[in-house]
Structure 1
């Protein structure tokens, strides 16, 4: 037997053209949004296959959720669409693998100027982005050079969203520490302007 609340939901959902149906559908959409957030819905990610990644030479996995989230910039040109961003990400991977001799692109995820997130090594894989801390943190790289300018608002939001996604899905500790690359070594990364911005973010 259905309880009165469930009966009313069933009735109003089926009552085509009624105000109750409109109200119930709106409430249902809101419920779905909250459930998605609660279960760690992530921003749309451009996969390795989509941007044309080479296969990694080897893969080392994390044993625990990451304690750190490190912010980087690529010190590169800007990109504002999937085509131009994908080309830059491929060039980063080639440089990391062919010049540095690394197993793969160094970063965990990369963020384009249009707010798209590009999968680097991805979740659960140890990267090569912050010497001495790769096994305890993920590296999030803004595509571009942010010494004298800020990333786009879309890129900043995407970075915050992918970090929150990691927390929600148990990839990053809830009490994680946010740092810029320069906090952990001798470098100007992630650029003066971006570094100034992240110092105001939660967990810094």
Structure 2
């Protein structure tokens, strides 16, 4: 069973590059893997055809988290709701961003998400900020984590270098990613409505 101390140790070792295979050395910040946040097993089968051209940014509209321990609980809560309550094959997002400044692996780079409807799921990576960003913005460390994840996706060949960022509300009738986060992502260089 992983503890917050184990997660911090893993993050530190990853930053140092210890225990990382040479092929995994890309300009990526650490991504908390599913095993670290104790994810339920995924039964998802649909793969993405990489590199994808789009990224859809959303928010969970739930509680925020600002420590590794609280964010691990929150990503577990999101997955539990998606799998146990909704009956889906896994958490719907490819990655989740915590206010602790860490990225949590959802379905990952290769598996199609269920974050923005049949038209967009097959051609995008879904990134969701954990929290509700209607009236407040995510902290800078969360925004930096998202930007780092996007650069990582390009470096890994999972995202096209000319990828487009869209807000969840750009592709579905929703308030997500919240007014304040939506204002921010519209300033990102790859944003396209």
Q: Runs of at least 4 residues of structure 1 off by over 3 A?
A: none
Unpaired stretches in structure 2, ≥5 consecutive residues: 1-21
Deviation at 1:98, TM superposition (A): 1.9
Matching residue of 1:41: 27
Q: Distance in 2 between matches of 1:191 and 1:121?
A: 22
Q: Distance in 1 between matches of 2:49 and 2:43?
A: 20
The TM-score normalised by the length of structure 2 is 0.84
Q: Distance in 2 between matches of 1:64 and 1:193?
A: 30
Matching residue of 2:6: none
Deviation at 1:102, TM superposition (A): 1.1
Q: Distance in 2 between matches of 1:58 and 1:174?
A: 27
Matching residue of 1:165: 152
Which stretch shifts more, 95-104 or 44-53? Answer: 95-104
Q: Distance in 1 between matches of 2:59 and 2:78?
A: 12
5 Å-filtered alignment, 1:54-203, equals 54-131=40-117, 132-203=119-190
The TM-score normalised by the length of structure 1 is 0.79
RMSD of equivalent CA atoms: 1.3
Determine which structure has more spread, i.e. the larger CA radius of gyration: 1
Give aligned pairs, total: 167
Deviation at 1:61, TM superposition (A): 1.2
Conservation of the 8 A alpha-carbon contact between 2:114 and 2:121: yes
Deviations 1:26-69 (A, max 9, x none): xxxxxxxxxx9xx7321111110000100012322112311101
Higher helix share: 1
